Structure 1
Amino acid sequence: MALTGREFVLPETLIRHAGRVLGREQLLSHARGYDSDPGTNLVNVHVSALRKKLGEDVFETMPGLGYRLRTS
């Protein structure tokens, strides 16, 4: 399965922080640097694309908080 460079950063970041909920701003800072616009929907777009490639149950959405890697 092929992932783009940006698609690879998101699961890698969530794996490194397994069990923790990471907000959009945290994920953006790992993916693009600290100067990213926190209002962007870039994280949502990448999560959606990754769910199509890796499966719907890989990432858990925590409403109002962010995302985490599903461990169970």
Structure 2
Amino acid sequence: MSLLTEILTGVAAAPVTAAVAAYFRYRLTRVREQNKTARLTTALDGTDPAQRAAIIEACGSLERTPKRRRLRG
């Protein structure tokens, strides 16, 4: 390959890589939010309306806890 071809390939690959990375970030965020909604819906299902505020607060506090560290290995 010529130097020009290598440069043009690198220049063309950068936006594609950025777009793919953005898509995967979007999908991951969407799945996480769907899971949060499902957990909250399950927690609230069949509860007394007077208890729902406390349940929502508890779920929210669980969502704000620090994320676990990855295990090395």
Query: What TM-score, normalized by structure 2, do the two folds share?
Result: 0.30
Structure in which a larger fraction of residues adopt helix: 2
Q: Which protein shows a greater Rg? A: 2
Which one has more relative contact order, counting CA pairs under 8 Å at least 6 apart? Answer: 1
**TM-score (normalizing by structure 1):** 0.30
